[in-house]
Amino acid sequence: MVIAEQKTQLRILLIEDDCVDGESVTRSLNKAFPNCGVRRVRCLGDATTAVAASEFDVVLADLSLPDSRGLESVVTMVQACPQNPLIVLTGHADDELSITAIAEGAQDYLVKGRISPELLQRSIRYAIQRHAMLRHNDQLLETLRQRDLLLQNKNQKLEKACKTAQKFVDNVSHEFRTPLTVIMEYASLLADGIAGPVSQEQAKLLGVIDDRASDLNNMVDDMLDVSKLESGLLGASRSPCTVAAIIDHVLPAIRRKAIVREVQLDVEIDEDLPDVFCDPAKVGRVIVNLAINAIKFTRNPGRVCISARRHGENDISIAVSDNGVGIPADRQREIFQRFAQVKTEIRDSTKGFGLGLNIAQELVDLNFGKMDVESTEGEGSSFSFTLPINCPVEVTRRFTSRLAAGQEGTGEVSAIAIAIEDDTNESVIRDVERFLVHLLRQNDLIFALPNRQWLLLVSVPSIAMDDFLTRLNKERVQINRNRPRGPLPEFQVRVEGTWNVAERAQDIVQMVDQQLGEENYCVA
Amino acid sequence: MSSLISKPSRTRNRPLQQAVQARLAKRKANGKDGGWSDPSKATRTPRILCIDDDPEICRTLEMRLSDYQAEVLVAYFGTQGFWEAITDHPDLILMDVSMPSGDGRFVLESLRNNQATEAIPVIVLTGMRDPELHSEMLALGADSFLNKPIHFDVLLSEMQSFVELSKRPE
């Protein structure tokens, strides 16, 4: 950017039809810039020809010319030579016209008759400098626009690539499951004696086939989870749930495995546990992964215990313990890494990807809990994890600190309140809630408020708020298109604000506290 | 496909929502339990149609249900499944999603848009884990959505919520 003092000769174009005025301005110019070259033309037509033919550093133009008058001259000149700064010369100090002239792109205006060499010098220098800055600014903006476009394109391509990759993983896992289903079904069909009588020994072996096939199925689930965790596509539908219901849901599969491996399985759930706030399906996967590990590593006679109890003021702790080989103290940290497995004397049953614990830990983190391991070599291990109880303020606190600690995201959280009409019935309310949950990603949170309202905390910066609201609307229209029970009701959407999670976490917590009224929601 | 649909001009233009509502209303009108516990029907063996492109899946169901008072019909691709449903009027349909020649979406939509089949309960049984697929199939009118592989006792109890399945007398 050349803004500094002109070193070379200034080339000035003067547009002035009046001879006397022309002479006087030229004189002042020569005084102001002794080495300058002044070219004078008498009308706008000549001026446009002149700027097209040769270069100038600055243009001085009278506003009343034979072929153009007033503002029109300014507009024409700015269009004809956008590369040159334009200074307007007026016969009288008419502020209105002069200010409009500057709005149209002139850099300055001078009143003829009051022109001095000093004034000219300053005005021309400033005009050149300002004009150069403006042009530079325009260039920067243009570059920014192009970069933005480029980024948008790349982002679209990446999103598409990501979705394609995910689709591929989905398809592959589906292809895996089809033969698995047949293997498992035939094994259990034979074991049940449907294809003819089987001996006890045969039934036991068939049980092993079924068991190992279900291991394989779990591995496919693990791979799906890992790929989704990795791409950030894993959703999290966190809501208030009871611990017993979560454990009951996964217990049959674990029990089946324990029976085949001849492991005693105990379940100890403390009574009067408060509800927890989590994604029940994800927590179920954690329990399954821990239990499969525990069953794998117990030693005869094998014993595994799944227990749940209160942990401090704000948490429930779920533990899976075994009487297995244990983990050496110096290796307890690395077992949570992907593909890690502790080498033990139990060779036959330790096969697997070693993804289980790593996934379990990530899923626990997703549910604002902490994973822990206690193990004594030769005595057994106990893997436990915590889940926050259903207390929105505490959950919000963990949500913000998880976001603040994470690398992903912009570090901003926006709160959106969503309400529907009063006369909607229960099943519609449930469907709206399900829709909102489906819309959210793992770094978002939803709380149900009384009176058919929800509070969404989404990790969307204010700059991308419009995009999010557009997406909300688009998905709602899409759902409505084939919803058997008619379209979802209109949403009243109100953006409550946007906060930086690192700097204003307390404000977010306070806002949630105000919106929900803690005493109604917090379980003592 | 239009030749397979009994009254194409009427049924095809009917919006899905309307069709599903009509189907639900019809089922409700048939009695609290949806008709299958109707004494006149109780003596009849329930007929279950299994639509899956893997013949072994169909065969395991046939073998499993051989102990029960039930008749199993099979179809190995989408359009065949729809044709079976139209011609044989099963009491329950068990269906895969990804199939050649008419996938699960197509079959479900066709079933729900046809008066003869709109009220037949459909259980979707798939190896896909996509949660969006779940809501999509339910939105298209599926009555239940289960994941493969599945243990027979789970599948049985799900089927029993739609048809009466009792063991054959020894």
The domain locations on chain A are: 11-115, 240-388, 392-521
Distances from the Cα of A329 to the Cαs of A325, A344, A347, A357, A491, in angstroms? 12, 14, 21, 17, 54
- The torsion angle over the Cα atoms of residues A270, A274, A280 and A286, rounded to 10 degrees, is -40
A240-388 topology per CATH: Heat Shock Protein 90 (3.30.565)
The domain locations on chain B are: 15-160
Whether omega before B131 lies within 30 degrees of 0, making that bond cis, reads no
Lowest mean pLDDT of A504-513, B67-76, B124-133, B154-163, name the range: B124-133
The pLDDT score that the predictor gives to residue B27 is 55
**Is A488 in a helix, a strand, or coil?**
coil
Q: Which of B17, B129, B135 sits opposite A170 (nearest CB)?
A: B129
Mutate to test the interface with B, among A178, A194, A212, A434 (most CBs of B within 10 A): A178
**Which range in A162-171, A256-265, A510-519 is most confidently predicted, on average pLDDT?**
A256-265
Look over chain A and give the mean of its residue pLDDT values, rounded to a whole number. Answer: 86
Tell which wins on pLDDT, B103 or A450: B103
Alpha helix locations (H) across A440-504? Answer: 465-481
Q: Could you tell me the pLDDT band of residue A126, with boundaries at 50, 70 and 90?
A: very high
Instruction: Inform me whether the pLDDT recorded for A346 exceeds 80.
Output: no
Cα separation of A456 and A381, whole Å?
39
**Percent of chain B whose predicted confidence (pLDDT) is above 70:** 74
B15-160 topology per CATH: Rossmann fold (3.40.50)
List pLDDT tens digits, range A474-495.
888 877 776 656 788 889 999 9
Q: Would an 8 Å CB–CB cutoff place B56 in contact with chain A?
A: yes
**Residues contacting A24, CB < 8 A, separation 6+:** A112, A115
The pLDDT score that the predictor gives to residue B29 is 56
Residue of B nearest to A215 (CA): B149
Which CATH code, of 3.60.10.10, 3.20.20.10, 3.30.70.270, 3.40.50.980, is assigned to A392-521?
Answer: 3.30.70.270
The pLDDT score that the predictor gives to residue A165 is 85
Tell which wins on pLDDT, A417 or A517: A417
Structure tokens at A321: 């313990």
Q: Which of B67, B129, B130 sits opposite A194 (nearest CB)?
A: B67
Residue of B nearest to A178 (CA): B127
User: From the CB of residue A298, how many other CB atoms can be counted at a distance below 10 Å?
Assistant: 25
The pLDDT score that the predictor gives to residue B6 is 39
Instruction: Inform me whether the pLDDT recorded for A78 exceeds 60.
Output: yes
* A154/chain B closest Cα distance in angstroms: 26
Comparing C-alpha atoms, which of A272, A271, A275 is closest to residue A521?
A275
Q: Could you tell me the pLDDT band of residue B2, with boundaries at 50, 70 and 90?
A: very low
Measured between beta carbons, the chain B residues lying within 8 angstroms of A252 are: 151
Q: Could you tell me the pLDDT band of residue A448, with boundaries at 50, 70 and 90?
A: confident
Residue with tokens 């324990």: A258
List pLDDT tens digits, range A383-422.
999 999 998 899 999 999 888 887 666 788 999 999 998 7
Contact A185 B60 (CB under 8 A): yes
Q: Which of B17, B132, B149 sits opposite A181 (nearest CB)?
A: B149
The mean pLDDT value for A193-202 works out to: 92
**Is A458 in a helix, a strand, or coil?**
strand
Instruction: Inform me whether the pLDDT recorded for A5 exceeds 60.
Output: no
In A, residues 169-228, which contact B (CB 8 Å cutoff)?
Answer: 170, 173-178, 180-182, 184-186, 188-189, 194-195, 213-214, 217, 221, 224
Cα separation of A381 and A375, whole Å?
4
List pLDDT tens digits, range B11-57.
334 444 454 455 556 555 554 444 444 444 445 789 999 999 999 99
The mean pLDDT value for B107-132 works out to: 88
The pLDDT score that the predictor gives to residue A354 is 65
Q: Which of B54, B98, B129 sits opposite A182 (nearest CB)?
A: B54
CA atoms within 13 A of residue A217's CA, in its CB half-sphere: 26
DSSP secondary structure string for all residues of B101-149: SS-HHHHHHHHHTSTTTTTS-EEEEES---HHHHHHHHHTT-SEEEESS
Cα separation of A108 and A86, whole Å?
7
Residue type, A270: D
Q: How many residues does chain A have?
A: 524
Q: Which of A177, A189, A434 sits opposite B63 (nearest CB)?
A: A189
Contact A484 B129 (CB under 8 A): no
Residue of A nearest to B52 (CA): A178
**Which range in A434-443, B125-134, B135-144, B156-165 is most confidently predicted, on average pLDDT?**
B156-165
Cβ atoms of A84 and A59 within 8 Å: the answer is yes
Contact A213 B66 (CB under 8 A): no
SS3 content of chain B, % helix, strand, coil (to 5): 45, 15, 40
Contact A185 B131 (CB under 8 A): no
Measured between beta carbons, the chain A residues lying within 8 angstroms of B140 are: 482
Cα separation of A331 and B47, whole Å?
58
Contact A184 B20 (CB under 8 A): no
The mean pLDDT value for A319-331 works out to: 88
Contact A235 B131 (CB under 8 A): yes
- ipTM (interface predicted TM): 0.72
User: From the CB of residue A40, how many other CB atoms can be counted at a distance below 10 Å?
Assistant: 20
**Is A88 in a helix, a strand, or coil?**
strand
Residue type, A185: E
The pLDDT score that the predictor gives to residue A1 is 42
Q: Which of B135, B140, B141 sits opposite A438 (nearest CB)?
A: B135
Look over chain B and give the mean of its residue pLDDT values, rounded to a whole number. Answer: 79
Strands, DSSP E only, in B31-111? Answer: 47-51, 71-75, 92-95
B129 φ, ψ to 5°?
Answer: -110, 10
Lowest mean pLDDT of A32-41, A108-117, A501-510, B31-40, name the range: B31-40
* A180/chain B closest Cα distance in angstroms: 7
Distances from the Cα of B65 to the Cαs of A84, A207, B68, B77, B80, in angstroms? 89, 21, 5, 21, 22
Which overall architecture, per CATH, does domain A11-115 show?
3-Layer(aba) Sandwich (3.40)
Tell which wins on pLDDT, A294 or A520: A294
Q: Which residues pair with A62 in a beta bridge?
A: A89
Residue type, A26: T
B33 φ, ψ to 5°?
Answer: -90, 10
